[in-house]
A = this chain, B = another copy of it.
Amino acid sequence: MGFPGPNGGFDLERAQPPCEEVFVGLESAEQENVFCALPFTRDTRKDESARFSSAHSEIQEIGDRVRLETFAAGQIRREFGIATDTWHAGDLRFSLISPALSAPDPDTADEASLKAALVPAIYAEIEVDNRAGRRARRVAFGYIGNDPYRGMRHIAGEGFVGVGQGREVALMTDAPGAWSGIGFHPALILGEAHPENRVWALGQCGLLVAEAPAGQITRIRYAIAFHRAGIVTTGLDTQYLYNRWFNSVESAGAFALSRFDAAQAEAAAHEARLAQSRLSQAQRLMLAHATRAYVGCTQLLEHEGRPLWVVNEGEYRMMNTFDLTVDHLFHELALHPWAVRNVLDLYLARYSYVDQVALPGQAPVPGGLSFTHDMGVANAFSPIGHSSYERGGLAGCFSYMTQEQLCNWLLCAGVYIEAQGDEAWLAAQAGTLAACLDSLLQRDHPDAAQRDGVMHADSSRCLGGAEITTYDSLDTSLGQSRANTYLAGKCWAAYLILERLFARLGDAARAEQSATQARRCADTLVAAVAPDGSLPALLEPDSAGFHSRIIPAIEGLAYPWFAGRRDACQADGPYGDYVRALARHLDAVLKPGICLFPDGSWKLSSSSDNSWLSKIYLCQFVAREILALPASATAQADEAHAAWLSDPRNAFWSWSDQIEAGVAIGSKYYPRGVTATLWLGERTS
């Protein structure tokens, strides 16, 4: 709701902000029937009554008897936190409270904590300072829903009233004396002379109206609840796990109201933690925004009694997109590590495949195990072994990401095992890890003698095309998998992780094989350093990407850092030559005209204007925490990055990832920015 105008609203399973009008209005202290509202509505005097009778418009008839005004931007002060979003205007304070930033492990947590975290509701509070007032003032909160299937309806129950759309969305309050109104326009509900008419139910506007008595401060509490019953997906039948406790939107809302104070305290604790960090204001804004966007994309489903975690890919709604999972990894391990294991298990069980591989221009040979790009799209699980996204015959967007996702499974597994010490799970993965190593080797080169630690063979699923990386909309500097410095960094990390895991499993031979590959990879990269100290984006000298320079060459350092291989990340450690080469590379490319935009913001590739915030956040962490770039060196960039999100061209979309010359051009309404959670762990933060 932060973007002015009728742009926000209550979103359950949409791919964009709902563009509903939200009404938060307080009656004037001076004039009865004059309300001032926050600027989330459309300023019109139109209403739907003309659809029923062309002869008259109710809103015209009511005329000036009820006047709605809007607080000007200058009258409003907003506090945007990680769990609380507050607008102060005149005697009104309106807060949206979203304390559930994480979920406990549904397999082990007690029911009370699970219900508290998983209740499908957020909270709102309105405070009216009517201490100076001489009469009661009405305060209204509601919205004009735009669901094409479901109408607005009244809700009433023991201790609460509400309005909502269908069985899916409800706005409820336990304020004494509050009542629900439905109509064609907020002014018509507020101007209704007869309380008997409050049962009326035509129109898409629903309001909850309460009173703030004179001479005091009044606080009114609301729950905004969401609910879907029954099976909600296809391909794999799942339901929302919260149905274990909540069989309706009313039950969810009532429960939320019952724990309002606890929720508010949790939110305050989240804010306090953020306030205690050393992050700058710009960083806090980005972290708060990214965290909210991530949470808004999550679903905890249940399949045959087992939890199934899904992060939807923002506007694209692909499910558990693996190259996002690996970026969410650090955030999820901090907040709900069980979700990482949950996703890895489902990838292995259902979204893995074995392919052939081919060097450019050569015949296919056996490949190995890898994983799909995603598990489906928009609640439709894709068939076993297939993503919704990947197609053969391409060399750009929508091609296969076989190598990237193979690395991603290993990186997630390694970091998860290290963080959680989950030995049982590690033991169960022994065969998979061996298959992954074999697969990595084949994709390096089918001829063992020619392996250099870097990927050179494309999957046969490409049908003659070429694999791409997660950077699917960039040029080959970041988009091509083969011989890519970014992906090579991830391969190096995967080998280091495999070395450690095989060692822990007692498989010395494979540990050694993995170490050899890590060494080869590092050596290959070090050998490719250009005279200016930078690395080419692509190691193929006859490719355009050979002349590009990319920041994400350093990305791979993050994984060994969190997977028990900090030894390998030291400038004076066993891979010191590679680490020092990366530091020099970063130093060489972080310059205007190469990998800095004129305003100091980061440009992931020298040959593309399309820069991705999530990856910038991650690379900033690597740069500062691992490669010792001073925090001051990124302060200007942080300001510029935060300004991207607040830009009126972008702000409608909440948090967005792909920014081209300051404008969000893709990956909008997106969960991936939680790479910023890494910042909280920086020694300088």
Contact = CB atoms under 8 A, between A and B. Distances in A.
Contact of A231 (B167, B388, B396): B167
B377 A151 contact: yes
A194 B393 contact: yes
Given A193-B393, A392-B197, A463-B196, A379 B53 contact: no
Contacts of A380: 151-153, 166, 201
Residue among A200, A234, A316, A658 with the highest chain B CB neighbour number at 10 A:
A234
A392 B196 contact: yes
Given A52-B316, A666-B51, A388 B202 contact: yes
B377 A54 contact: no
A317 interface: yes
A165 to B, nearest CB: 9
Contact of A234 (B14, B54, B153, B230): B153
Contact of A54 (B388, B398, B660): B660
Given A473-B54, A610-B54, A199 B151 contact: no
A484 to B, nearest CB: 17
A610 to B, nearest CB: 7
Interface in A217-234: 229-232, 234
Query: Main SS of the interface on chain A?
Result: loop
A318 B52 CA distance: 12
A500 interface: no
A197 B393 contact: yes
5 contacts: A55-B397, A151-B380, A153-B378, A154-B383, A194-B463
A49 B475 CA distance: 16
B54 A166 contact: no
Contacts of A53: 396-397, 472-473, 666
B194 A398 contact: no
Interface of A: 12-15, 49, 51-56, 148-154, 166-167, 193-194, 196-197, 199-202, 229-232, 234-235, 315-318, 376-380, 382-383, 386, 388-393, 396-398, 461, 463, 472-473, 475, 610, 658, 660, 665-666
A378 B199 CA distance: 15
Contacts of A202: 316, 318, 377, 388-389, 398
A163 to B, nearest CB: 11
Residue among A388, A389, A390, A610 with the highest chain B CB neighbour number at 10 A:
A388
Copies of this protein in the assembly total: 2
Given A52-B472, A54-B658, 15 more contacts: A13-B149, A14-B149, A49-B397, A51-B316, A54-B473, A54-B665, A55-B397, A55-B610, A150-B378, A151-B380, A166-B234, A200-B391, A201-B382, A202-B316, A202-B318
A167 B383 contact: no
B54 A666 contact: yes
Contacts of A392: 194, 196-197
Contacts of A231: 167, 229
A558 B252 CA distance: 51
A216 to B, nearest CB: 33
Contacts of A472: 52-53
A397 B56 contact: yes
A383 B166 contact: no
A578 to B, nearest CB: 32
Contacts of A660: 54
A400 to B, nearest CB: 11
B54 A151 contact: no
A52 B666 contact: yes
Contacts of A232: 167
A383 B12 CA distance: 27
A390 B202 CA distance: 9
A575 B658 CA distance: 80
Nearest to A164: B234
Contacts of A393: 193-194, 197
Contact of A150 (B197, B318, B379): B379
Contacts of A475: 55
A660 B53 CA distance: 11
B196 A382 contact: no
Contacts of A196: 392, 461, 463
B194 A55 contact: no
Contacts of A388: 200-202
Contacts of A148: 14-15, 148
Contacts of A52: 316, 397-398, 472-473, 666
A333 B54 CA distance: 33
Contacts of A152: 380
A317 B151 contact: yes
Contacts of A378: 150-151, 153, 166
A392 B199 CA distance: 11
A345 to B, nearest CB: 22
Nearest to A383: B199
A318 B49 CA distance: 14
A473 B153 CA distance: 24
Nearest to A153: B380
A598 B383 CA distance: 63
A397 B521 CA distance: 78
Contacts of A382: 199, 201
Contacts of A51: 315-316, 666
Given A53-B397, A167-B234, A397-B56, A201 B151 contact: no
Nearest to A248: B231
Contacts of A55: 396-397, 473, 475, 610
Residue among A200, A380, A660 with the highest chain B CB neighbour number at 10 A:
A380
Nearest to A16: B148
A302 to B, nearest CB: 16
A653 to B, nearest CB: 12
